[in-house]
Structure 1
Amino acid sequence: MQAGTKHGLQSSDVSPSVSETSAGIELGRSRRGWRGRTREWRLVEGLLRAAQSGRGGVLLVEGRSGIGKSRLLAEAIDAAAARGFTIARGAADESAQLAPLKPLISAFGESARTLLASRELLFSDSRLWLVDELQDRLEAWAARGPCLVAFDDLQWADPTTLFALRSLVPELASYPLVWILVRTAGAAESGADRLYEVLERDGATLIELGPLGDDAVAEIVTDEFGAAPDPELLALAAGAAGNPFLLVEWLKGLRDEAAVEITDGHLDLVSRQLPRRVQEIARSRLGRLSPPTRHLLQVAAVLGHSFSADDLADVLGEQPSRLLSALEEAQAAGAVVPCEDRLAFRHDLLWRAVAETITVSVRQALHRQVGEILLKRGGSAIPAVTHLLCSAQPEDTAALAGLDRAAHELLPTSAQSAADVAIRALELTALTAPERFDRTGTALYSLATAGRLAEATKLARTALGRTWPPEQVAHLYYELAYLLMLAGRPGEAVAEAERALAQAGLPAELRGLAEQVSFQGMFAARAFRRGRDRAQAVVTAEERHTPPAIVGAHILLAGVDWTAGRAADAIGHLRTAIRVAGDGPIQARHAHPRLILVNALSSMRRLEEAEAALESAAEEITALGHTAYAAVPAIFRAKQRIAEGRLDDAATEAQAGLAIADQLGMHAFDLVGIAVLAIVAARRGDIDTAVKYAEQYRSLRQEGHWSDWAMALVAEAQGGPEKAIELYNAPYTDPAERTWLLMFEPAAAAWLTRTALAVGSRSDAETIVAAAGHLADGNPEFPTLAASEAHARGILHRDPAALAHAVATHVGSWERASAAEDLGALRAHEHGGSDQDAISSLDQALEGYQRTGALRDAARVRARLRDLGVRRRHWTQAERPLSGWESLTETEGTVAALVAQGLTNPQVARQMFISPQTVKFHLRQVFRKLGIASRVELARLTAERTPDA
């Protein structure tokens, strides 16, 4: 990979020699060209040394313009290169801050360009795919040895670059990879602020470069003139406020104007002028240049911090060859410097100062001219978009057309930028303009893709307040309904979809889309009766309906059958919906019936089938670029891990899913993720954390029926069975609610029965057992329902045979442990506490709970055993040490072995049939237990442990 370049270093800077850099000692002191930054440099050196031993690290640098950030970055790059690091360096640019992945492209070169070139072939929103592909490339690169990835001027970075960094930096933390990220403080608020917050919270080191001290200022003056300054000169130098760039520029001005003289090796001030501001310096510099060169630099400043000679020639209406003398004069004066195949102003402060010599109206006219020139060239409209945003006027046809093109080009890789451009185009469009409807649609779609659902919903409602033709009104109602579904508000979504369907003369395609959203909303809101007949009519006459409507109808009918306790029929509808969606348009596939199938199969404990369906669903979401559902696979995987009794993995997947949802602004499935975390915390015995999740759950004010049961578990753990029933008694009183819960969470039957008996309500317990029996009888092909019925019946009737059957037939390890506990407690009660079978059952329960990580349940079983006169030590103390190789679980040991072989996290995930997030979690546990922090150390320890392997 080729390193990018960052322009703008001070002309008086003195680069260190290779020997100075590689030694690492010389840079630890203040020296010519690099004064007053000893502490900061030691942090850099520490990261580089750590990377050489296999450990990565992240350094965040911020400070005012001219304070030395880019110099620190340049020194770090030189030092890393001398140590043999592979280096990639990129920089953001204000004039290209909407260009997707611009800094990454400049850092990684052709690799990133190739990714962007292929996006058109695959996706509507390819951000997640791009990040995955970049991670694969960077991971393979970092596996070969220590690397430095450096980015400058991140305050101007485009949203996709920030999105990528937020994902890549923590994902690659186990490699010998040093990240140095630099931004200018005091700039307008940007996404870089959030990136810094997240990375610093994850352990990154933040350097805030402040003003130079008096000693460093004196050394710089001495460096510049070769003589020690007198006190009066130093007092005036303080006017630069410790800013190295301003100080050096002022010193250059003193030299140019002969304002100092050296007498007997001492520097004396001749002129008493104060340090100029940068604007004055720029005007002074410009004043010394020829008029053509001054004009050239002013036009160049409008093009941006960096610019191409071709662009400059086009704006000036000249051949590039005719600009050579002016460009040479500008370079000789230190105004611009070469930067790869472009030119750049030597420093941001100089660039801004030159730009400010142009009046606002003239600058705006130049932006308009540049935008028009770039558009007329053909090709991408993205290079022109910054200039168009600066200059476009209301009803400016050409500019608005350019903004339209740019929004559509940006959408696959930068939905945030696409939304900003689309909204600006809409603002400049007359209310009566024929293009307004299409621009409204583009803005709505872009906002939705970017996760800005509140803005999109507001825009849709505002648009509906105006007069449109009926078809356009229906389309806006559909868009609003879809937005509300994404926001997790299915009841409102159904209402808006029905308004769309009520419009006269609806085209078949739009009617199908509105029907799909209506059916989906009814399914999510469990309003099955409302849409059952209409859905049945659709599937009976499929030839008269579009694929989206057919998919939605089968989804709703699956819900009807599920609520009626017909699991096989429900699953059949879902499989049909998957088939129809796969053959239909992209909107039909956006319903994602496969995810609903995952939930159904997981509930019926068809865990292998559910896992396979989940992997297919995740691949489909990425292939479709449907980021609205990007977090769902991890969240549903978390729910499945609960069913499998893998609490640690469940928590990891839930946290990963919620993090993705937060990053993308898509929170429709947050309830499930929070519920999983609440269950895990409760079963671990961390009741305070479980209660916090419950409070977070209630604050969302969304419906989530399985999740409501999870909250009842937390309530029981906190306040006992009475509190649980007070919070959630619907399964005892509402037949539909009871069937829905027992189908989606068969293990709830035993809990509901036990809870009802605990509060003295045998009739409620009998109701639950009867319902569980009815479901088991009606679904013989799903034995998990029979196991759950036997468990509940054994609790109600104190039937050891039924409980023993449940122990033998439960699929989930936690459910088996729960049944074993109930059986052991019953045997102990019946035999007065001396029955060996009771102890054996309780031991089985204890072992099962401990294997799943359910520490609260394990503690309860140990208490039961103590009542029987049997003491069992904590499993972690009795069976496994806290650190070292023997402390690793079976899963951790497998992950460690595969990583030590050189496999990446995605490769390990594919081999173990788990998610990369779960691999990362287990790898962190391995590092903690072994006292290491990198793959290199893990490989070394593994080799030492198995020298003959």
Structure 2
Amino acid sequence: MFRGREEERGLLNGVLDAGAGVVLVDGAAGTGKTRLLAEAAAVAAGRGFEVVTARDELDQPFLLARLAERRPDGPLLVVLDDLHLAGPATLAALGALLPASASDAVVWLLARRRGEGADRLFSAAARRGATRIELRPLPDGVVTEPVADLKALAGTAQGLLLDRVSALSGNARHLLQVAAVLGPRFEPGDVAEMLASSIAVLLPALDEVVAAGVVAAQDDGLAFRHDLLWRLVADSVPPPVRRALHREAGEMLLRRGDSAVVAAKHLLHGAQRGDARSVDGLVTAAKALLWNAPEASAELAVRALELTDQASASLVHRTVMAVRALTAAGRLTTAHALAQEALSRQVSPEPAAKLRHCVATTTLLGARHAESLEISEALLRDPDLAPELTPWVEITRLMALLGHDRERARELAEAVVRTRQGAPDDVLATALAVLAAIARDTGRPGAALELAREAARAGTSHDLSAYPRLLFATLLAGLREFADAAAVVRRVRGGPSAVVTGEVMTAVVQARILLQAGRIEEAAAEARAALTVAEETGHDAVVAPALAVLAMVAIHTGDLPAAIEHVGRCRDDVPADRIIFSRAYYQWADVLVTYVGSGLEKAMTLLTDYPDLVSSGLFAEEPRAAGWFVRRALEAGDDGLAKAVVDRAERLAEEHPGFPAVAAAAVHARGLLDADARLLELAARDHRDLWARANAAEDLGVLLAGSPDRAESVKALESALGLYREIGASRDSARVLGRLRKLGRRRRAAPARPESGWSSLDDTERAIANLVAKGQTNRQISTQLFMSPHTVNFHLRKIFRKLAISSRVELVMRSRDDR
């Protein structure tokens, strides 16, 4: 224990006592950050925690991949130092693991140099209630004496431990050295295989190291008694021998089919330039990890490329692997540059085609649709294009056309459907999804839904069929079939792939579904997370959808400057997306924000720039938009526009009698146009989402305000106010409060629910608290309540704040006390 950090140690001990939580350590170089982490690890180990740590930024993605593979059997401390050096994909993977592990007995100890990186991760963790520790330089008198003490103690401890190891027989020492290369925990069978022996032959040496107190038996194998012992033994192996042993261990694990993550870590330490076998092992491990641990795969593939001689025949093939892994890890800029640099050299046709397709993929994800299309079509004209690559290129071309040339996209997709009907096929799934998106945008919701349903069924690959499934989810949510939409998103998120593109697309689709369902704060959290990853990784195609959701959130929570900024970026800086969401959705967001920010006249002028908006499929994609447009048209005295909106909504309802949300939108629009209170009352009852129901109730209250008996008007407005408050739409709530005041009714600006205590929890929070009290994990709760684990954790933070607690253990205890 070193002196001068009593307060920091107290904070760390408090989190270890709780058994779960996140500790953020900020400190400049030389403030003892790494020493504090080592001390915390030693204390945790003494309390029975399993301690896992990454030695450097290269080790971090492998550690995270191992943690994603398994759940901890007991209390676990994860130590990650120097996070200011971590790449965006590593930070994104860590950001996803932190909320997901809130249900487990895991303490995360995260450290960085203050102000040098990982700002968003630390800020997000702090908002979720992480413990902050800021290390400042200690006075000289406090530092110098303990440093001397530590050196003496460390020297004494090392000497004692080395004496204990030196007293062992030669066979026992050799066994320990091989075991140390395998790690602080190891299987006796692995040591026997490495030594080309058997456990029976090694039994005397195993008994000797256990009896000497160097190794202890555990349920799942053997482990060094102390981390320092393990490191001392590992360091006693000469580096060239250690590298060779790491290589042999990695090859053994790969050959046996064990965890590719663990095997890859050994290969990474064992590989060296000119060693073809070990570098080939890195590539093999990279391929095995490509889909479920892409960041680790990228580290392996890039390392293999670095160790490859420029004259090697394997150089181009290893470049292809590195580009694929970098793309999967979301490092699009690096992948694109590496592929282009390789193509500038003389490359044989087969790998050149793979590299060109990688460039087409990165440009597609970067929203450069025309460039992606040009590359894809050139590849498909090549008669020697490899059969296994052809479907990938066809899918890329279809998606690029969808964003660039709708008419050609429709023609090509129809041709694909005519010629490929039959067995499930990813190209067929993409073609059906393209036709579904076009049907959505041209106001044919029934056709769009059926095409998307068929597309979701036709896909075979989790990654290649992610878009068809996500499009299906957006169409279901547009028609307000929220449970079905959530189930589709759960299936996508529950798949085996961890590719960054799929994760960020899923997050933005989930954000809009949450917004449509009236879960506005959760929607904002998902959209911000998607936007952060998209901006950090170059996924420009996802930026516009995330900004559109955030603009809608901002306008309803009264943050007009943010809404204007988000819409401005959609309009000017980011190409309008027509793949994930329709162009009509962005146009409606633009008109809505312009109305709030600049008034009716400018909004109506802007509407003339979007002549096809009313005749598009907007009122099936966003049923509440019909009422909004009639309201604005009547306000502007434009009866022609109001009638056009009503005609369009009623025609959609007539053509699609099986869609209640569309029917309610038509009733709402007609009720506004005809000033028919009965129809508005029906709309307020029949709308399938809280937003539209609140809008209809407010419209009914406004209409009835001119009647002699204003009681019904007050009743309708109070109903609208309750719904807006439930959603969290503070701006809309304020508007309705103003209407009530004009009618002589005074309502409190804040809900009557207390700000703290059990009675302050809303229905969702109470449901989550009850499930936590029953021992459910975040993932189990997310399945029951149709929300992502990220959303469950968002609600948990609110519960902790309202109950003035900081852990699940305290929540369980408070729940029992309450009962």
1:864 match: 739
Structure 1 residues 902 and 190, CA, compared in 2 at 3 Å: closer, same or farther?
A: same
1:565 match: 443
1:265 match: none
Structure 1 residues 212 and 166, CA, compared in 2 at 3 Å: closer, same or farther?
A: farther
- CA–CA separation in structure 2 for the residues paired with 1:639 and 1:182: 32
Q: For each residue in 1:819-875, what CA deviation from the matched residue of structure 2 results, as whole angstroms up to 9, or x when unmatched?
A: 23223323334x4x75444334333333332332222222212222332x3213136
Residues 675 and 693 in structure 1, CA contact (< 8 A), matched pair in contact too: yes
| Count of aligned positions | 778
Say if 2:423 is the partner of 1:527: no
2:107 match: 179
The secondary structure found in structure 1 opposite 2:496 is: helix
Structure 1 residue 446 displacement after superposition: 0.5
Q: For each residue in 1:121-146, what CA deviation from the matched residue of structure 2 results, as whole angstroms up to 9, or x when unmatched?
A: xxxxxx5xx3xx52xx46xx5xxxxx
- CA–CA separation in structure 1 for the residues paired with 2:777 and 2:253: 42
Match of 1:848 among 682, 698, 723: 723
Residues 473 and 485 in structure 2, CA contact (< 8 A), matched pair in contact too: yes
2:132 match: 205
Residues 440 and 448 in structure 2, CA contact (< 8 A), matched pair in contact too: yes
2:391 match: 512
Structure 1 residue 529 displacement after superposition: 0.8
The secondary structure found in structure 2 opposite 1:205 is: strand
Residues 888 and 929 in structure 1, CA contact (< 8 A), matched pair in contact too: yes
Structure 1 residue 596 displacement after superposition: 0.8
2:686 match: 809
Residues 95 and 386 in structure 1, CA contact (< 8 A), matched pair in contact too: no
How does 1:392-403 map onto structure 2 within 5 Å? 392-393=273-274, 397-403=276-282
1:74 match: 42
Say if 2:554 is the partner of 1:681: yes
Structure 1 residue 442 displacement after superposition: 0.8
Q: Which residue identity lines up with residue 603 of structure 1 in the other structure?
A: G
Residues 601 and 610 in structure 1, CA contact (< 8 A), matched pair in contact too: yes
1:417 match: 296
Residues 332 and 537 in structure 2, CA contact (< 8 A), matched pair in contact too: no
- CA–CA separation in structure 2 for the residues paired with 1:746 and 1:882: 34
Match of 1:481 among 348, 360, 364: 360
How does 1:232-251 map onto structure 2 within 5 Å? 242=147, 245-246=150-151
Q: For each residue in 1:336-374, what CA deviation from the matched residue of structure 2 results, as whole angstroms up to 9, or x when unmatched?
A: x9897679996999999999xx9xxxx7x7787667766
Residues 685 and 856 in structure 1, CA contact (< 8 A), matched pair in contact too: yes
The secondary structure found in structure 2 opposite 1:623 is: coil
The secondary structure found in structure 2 opposite 1:100 is: helix
Q: Which residue identity lines up with residue 448 of structure 1 in the other structure?
A: T
Q: For each residue in 1:153-204, what CA deviation from the matched residue of structure 2 results, as whole angstroms up to 9, or x when unmatched?
A: 74599989977654454555588x5736376979xx998x986676466532
Residues 480 and 661 in structure 2, CA contact (< 8 A), matched pair in contact too: yes
How does 1:359-370 map onto structure 2 within 5 Å? none
Structure 1 residues 421 and 907, CA, compared in 2 at 3 Å: closer, same or farther?
A: closer
- CA–CA separation in structure 1 for the residues paired with 2:98 and 2:454: 41
Structure 1 residue 428 displacement after superposition: 5.3
Range with bigger deviation, 194-203 or 444-453: 194-203
Q: For each residue in 1:96-130, what CA deviation from the matched residue of structure 2 results, as whole angstroms up to 9, or x when unmatched?
A: 9378339x97xxxxxx7xxxxxxxxxxxxxx5xx3
Match of 2:427 among 533, 549, 561: 549
CA RMSD of aligned residues (A): 5.1
Match of 1:782 among 656, 659, 674: 659
Match of 2:63 among 101, 106, 109: 101
- CA–CA separation in structure 2 for the residues paired with 1:818 and 1:940: 42
Structure 1 residues 244 and 498, CA, compared in 2 at 3 Å: closer, same or farther?
A: farther
Say if 2:42 is the partner of 1:89: no
Say if 2:695 is the partner of 1:818: yes
Range with bigger deviation, 93-102 or 476-485: 93-102
- CA–CA separation in structure 2 for the residues paired with 1:37 and 1:477: 55
Structure 1 residue 723 displacement after superposition: 4.2
- CA–CA separation in structure 1 for the residues paired with 2:227 and 2:41: 18
2:625 match: 748
- CA–CA separation in structure 1 for the residues paired with 2:633 and 2:4: 72
Range with bigger deviation, 502-511 or 346-355: 346-355
Structure 1 residues 454 and 927, CA, compared in 2 at 3 Å: closer, same or farther?
A: same
How does 1:828-843 map onto structure 2 within 5 Å? 828-829=705-706, 831=707, 835-843=710-718
1:225 match: none
Q: For each residue in 1:248-297, what CA deviation from the matched residue of structure 2 results, as whole angstroms up to 9, or x when unmatched?
A: 689999x9xxxxxxxxxxxxxxxxxxxxxxxxxxxxxxxxxxxx9xxx9x
Q: Which residue identity lines up with residue 135 of structure 2 in the other structure?
A: E
- CA–CA separation in structure 2 for the residues paired with 1:166 and 1:785: 38
1:909 match: 782
- CA–CA separation in structure 2 for the residues paired with 1:727 and 1:745: 19
Q: Which residue identity lines up with residue 503 of structure 1 in the other structure?
A: D
Residues 102 and 778 in structure 2, CA contact (< 8 A), matched pair in contact too: no
1:43 match: 11
Say if 2:554 is the partner of 1:589: no
How does 1:275-294 map onto structure 2 within 5 Å? none
Residues 64 and 184 in structure 1, CA contact (< 8 A), matched pair in contact too: no
Match of 1:613 among 460, 483, 488: 488
Q: Which has the larger radius of gyration?
A: 1
- CA–CA separation in structure 1 for the residues paired with 2:701 and 2:635: 18
1:238 match: none
Match of 1:883 among 756, 762, 765: 756
Match of 2:418 among 540, 545, 557: 540
Structure 1 residues 764 and 420, CA, compared in 2 at 3 Å: closer, same or farther?
A: same
How does 1:192-591 map onto structure 2 within 5 Å? 199=125, 203-206=130-133, 208=135, 213-214=140-141, 217=144, 242=147, 245-246=150-151, 379=254, 382=264, 385-387=267-269, 391-393=272-274, 397-411=276-290, 414-427=293-306, 429=308, 434-470=313-349, 472-523=351-402, 525=403, 527-542=405-420, 547-581=425-459, 584-585=460-461, 588-590=464-466
1:717 match: 596
Structure 1 residue 662 displacement after superposition: 7.4
Structure 1 residues 847 and 162, CA, compared in 2 at 3 Å: closer, same or farther?
A: closer
Structure 1 residues 762 and 477, CA, compared in 2 at 3 Å: closer, same or farther?
A: farther
Structure 1 residue 739 displacement after superposition: 0.8
Match of 1:931 among 792, 800, 804: 804
Residues 450 and 665 in structure 1, CA contact (< 8 A), matched pair in contact too: no
Q: Which residue identity lines up with residue 341 of structure 2 in the other structure?
A: T
5+ residue gaps, structure 2, are 160-169, 202-207, 217-221, 256-262, 578-582
Residues 323 and 335 in structure 2, CA contact (< 8 A), matched pair in contact too: yes
Structure 1 residue 244 displacement after superposition: 5.1
- CA–CA separation in structure 1 for the residues paired with 2:120 and 2:230: 23
2:511 match: 638
- CA–CA separation in structure 1 for the residues paired with 2:58 and 2:223: 16
Say if 2:474 is the partner of 1:599: yes
The secondary structure found in structure 2 opposite 1:669 is: helix
- CA–CA separation in structure 2 for the residues paired with 1:371 and 1:827: 79
Match of 1:150 among 66, 77, 81: 77
Structure 1 residue 392 displacement after superposition: 0.6
Q: For each residue in 1:76-101, what CA deviation from the matched residue of structure 2 results, as whole angstroms up to 9, or x when unmatched?
A: 654xx3xxxx4222344469937833
Residues 661 and 687 in structure 2, CA contact (< 8 A), matched pair in contact too: yes
Q: Which residue identity lines up with residue 38 of structure 2 in the other structure?
A: S
Residues 93 and 305 in structure 1, CA contact (< 8 A), matched pair in contact too: no
Q: For each residue in 1:725-744, what CA deviation from the matched residue of structure 2 results, as whole angstroms up to 9, or x when unmatched?
A: 5556544x136x84143332
Range with bigger deviation, 159-168 or 784-793: 159-168
- CA–CA separation in structure 2 for the residues paired with 1:315 and 1:790: 75
Structure 1 residues 852 and 428, CA, compared in 2 at 3 Å: closer, same or farther?
A: closer
